[in-house]
C-alpha cells in the first residue's frame, strides 16, 4: 500500500471519527440544555458566587447612578435598552459608559500611550457600551423572526383545539423563550388589566420593532374588525414569514463575502499600525509627531470610514 492511499484512509477515518464524536457531544449538550430549561436544579457554589457578584456590581452601579437621576437621557438610548431586554435604567447605563471610558483610558495610559492618544480612547470607551447594547438589541429582534414561525403554528393549532386568542398568547408567553415569550406574557398581563388590545400591540411593536411581527399584528387587528378564520390566517402568515426568512438567509449567504471584506479592509490598516507601534515605535514615530504625518493619519481614518460605509450600503439589501 502506497503512502498517498494510506494518508487518504487516515484522513477519512479521522474525519468520520470527528464527525460522530462532535455529533454525540452536540446531542448531549442539547439534551442537558433542554433538561435545565424544564427541570429546576440547585445552583452550584460557583453559580451562587457569580450571582452574588452580579448583584453586588448592580448595587454599586445603582448607588453611583443616583447622582445622575435628574438628567434627561436620549430617547434612542432608552429605546435600545428596552429592545435589548436589559433591566438597566438610563442613568445606570450612563454610569457603565463612564466606567468603560475610564477603564480603557487607564489601561492604555498604563501601557505608555501618549497623552494625545488618550482622548480618542476616552471617546471609544464611552461609545463601546452603546455599540454593545445596539448589537444585543439587533440580535434579539432578529431572533424574533425565527420564533414567530414556531409561535404562529402553535397558536393556529391551539385555536383549532378550542383556545381563545388571549389563551394562545398566554401559552406562547409560558412556552417560548426570550424575546417572544416574556413580551407576550407582558402583553397578556396588560390585556388582563383592561388596556385596549390596539394599545397593547402598539407598545409591543415599540419594544420589538420587527417587520414580521408588525405584519402579524396588523393582520390580527384587521381580523378583529372584519372577522374571519383566525387559525387559517395564522397558517397563511406562518408560510409568508417562513418564505421571507428563506429569502433573507439566501441574501446573507450571497452578501457574506462583501461584509467580511469590509471588516477586513477596515481593520487591516489599524492592526498594522498597532503592530508597528509595538514592534518598532521609532519607525512609526514620524507619523505621530510630524504635522504631515498626523494629517495623513486623519485622512486615512476618514477614508476608512467612508469605504466601510459605502461597502455596507452596497451589501445591505432590504426585503
pLDDT tens per residue, range 225-250: 888 888 899 999 999 999 988 988 88
How confident is the model at residue 190, as a pLDDT? 92
How confident is the model at residue 2, as a pLDDT? 60
Q: Using alpha carbons, select from 246, 67, 213 the residue that is nearest to residue 147.
A: 213
Check whether 172 has a pLDDT greater than 90: yes
Check whether 37 has a pLDDT greater than 70: no
Section 6-26 average pLDDT: 71
pLDDT digits (tens, 9 = 90+) for 295-313: 888 898 899 888 888 888 8
Check whether 73 has a pLDDT greater than 60: yes
Q: What average pLDDT is seen over the chain?
A: 84
pLDDT digits (tens, 9 = 90+) for 186-218: 999 999 999 999 999 999 999 999 988 998 999
pLDDT digits (tens, 9 = 90+) for 120-166: 888 888 999 999 999 999 999 988 888 999 999 999 999 999 998 99
How confident is the model at residue 8, as a pLDDT? 67
pTM: 0.70
Section 42-46 average pLDDT: 54
Share of the chain above pLDDT 70, in %: 87
How confident is the model at residue 200, as a pLDDT? 93
Q: How confident is the model at residue 21 (pLDDT cuts 50, 70, 90)?
A: confident
How confident is the model at residue 134, as a pLDDT? 93
C-alpha cell of residue 65 = 447612578
- Rounded to whole angstroms, the Cα distance separating 28 from 262 reads 37
Amino acid at each position: 500500500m502506497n503512502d498517498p492511499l494510506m494518508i487518504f484512509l487516515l484522513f477519512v477515518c479521522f474525519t468520520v471519527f470527528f464527525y460522530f464524536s462532535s455529533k454525540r457531544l452536540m446531542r448531549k449538550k442539547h439534551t442537558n440544555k433542554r433538561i435545565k430549561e424544564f427541570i429546576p436544579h440547585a445552583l452550584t457554589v460557583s453559580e451562587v458566587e457569580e450571582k452574588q457578584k452580579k448583584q453586588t456590581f448592580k448595587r454599586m452601579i445603582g448607588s453611583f447612578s443616583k447622582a445622575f437621576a435628574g438628567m434627561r437621557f436620549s430617547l434612542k438610548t432608552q429605546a435600545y435598552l428596552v429592545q435589548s431586554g436589559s433591566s438597566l435604567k438610563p442613568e445606570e447605563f450612563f454610569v457603565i459608559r463612564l466606567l468603560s471610558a475610564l477603564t480603557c483610558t487607564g489601561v492604555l495610559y498604563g501601557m505608555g500611550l501618549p497623552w494625545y492618544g488618550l482622548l480618542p480612547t476616552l471617546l471609544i470607551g464611552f461609545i463601546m457600551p452603546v455599540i454593545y447594547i445596539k448589537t444585543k438589541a439587533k440580535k434579539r429582534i432578529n431572533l424574533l423572526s425565527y420564533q414567530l414561525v414556531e409561535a404562529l403554528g402553535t397558536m393556529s393549532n391551539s385555536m383549532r383545539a378550542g383556545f381563545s386568542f388571549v389563551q394562545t398568547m398566554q401559552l406562547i408567553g409560558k412556552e417560548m423563550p426570550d424575546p417572544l415569550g416574556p413580551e407576550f406574557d407582558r402583553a397578556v398581563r396588560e390585556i388582563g388589566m383592561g388596556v385596549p388590545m390596539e394599545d397593547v400591540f402598539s407598545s409591543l411593536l415599540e419594544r420589538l420593532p420587527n417587520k414580521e411581527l408588525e405584519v402579524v399584528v396588523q393582520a390580527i387587528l384587521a381580523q378583529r374588525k372584519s372577522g374571519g378564520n383566525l387559525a387559517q390566517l395564522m397558517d397563511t402568515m406562518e408560510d409568508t414569514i417562513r418564505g421571507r426568512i428563506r429569502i433573507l438567509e439566501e441574501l446573507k449567504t450571497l452578501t457574506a463575502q462583501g461584509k467580511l471584506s469590509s471588516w477586513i479592509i477596515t481593520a487591516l490598516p489599524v492592526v498594522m499600525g498597532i503592530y508597528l507601534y509595538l514592534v518598532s515605535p521609532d519607525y512609526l514615530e514620524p507619523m505621530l509627531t510630524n504635522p504631515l504625518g498626523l494629517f495623513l493619519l486623519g485622512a486615512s481614518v476618514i477614508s476608512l470610514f467612508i469605504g466601510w460605509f459605502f461597502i455596507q450600503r452596497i451589501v445591505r439589501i432590504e426585503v
